[in-house]
Copies of this chain bind each other. A is one copy, B any other.
Amino acid sequence: MHDFEAVLQRVRSSGLRLTRQRRIILRAMCDLDGHASAEEVYQRVSRSRSDVDLSTVYRALVRLRDLRILSQIDLGRSCAEFEIVGERRHHHLVCVSCGTVMELDHSYLAALEEAVRHDFDFDPAFDHFALFGHCAECAKRGPGFRAGAG
Contacts and interface: CB of A to CB of B under 8 A. Distances in A.
A150 B72 contact: yes
Quick one: copies of this chain in the complex? 2
Interface residues of A, number: 43
Contact of A122 (B111, B130, B135, B148): B135
A125 B124 CA distance: 20
A148 B121 contact: no
25 contacts: A71-B147, A71-B148, A72-B147, A72-B148, A74-B74, A74-B150, A93-B116, A93-B120, A93-B124, A95-B122, A104-B116, A104-B120, A108-B116, A109-B112, A111-B111, A111-B112, A116-B133, A121-B136, A122-B135, A123-B134, A124-B132, A125-B147, A125-B148, A126-B133, A128-B148
Contact of A150 (B70, B73, B109, B148): B73
Contacts of A124: 93, 131-133
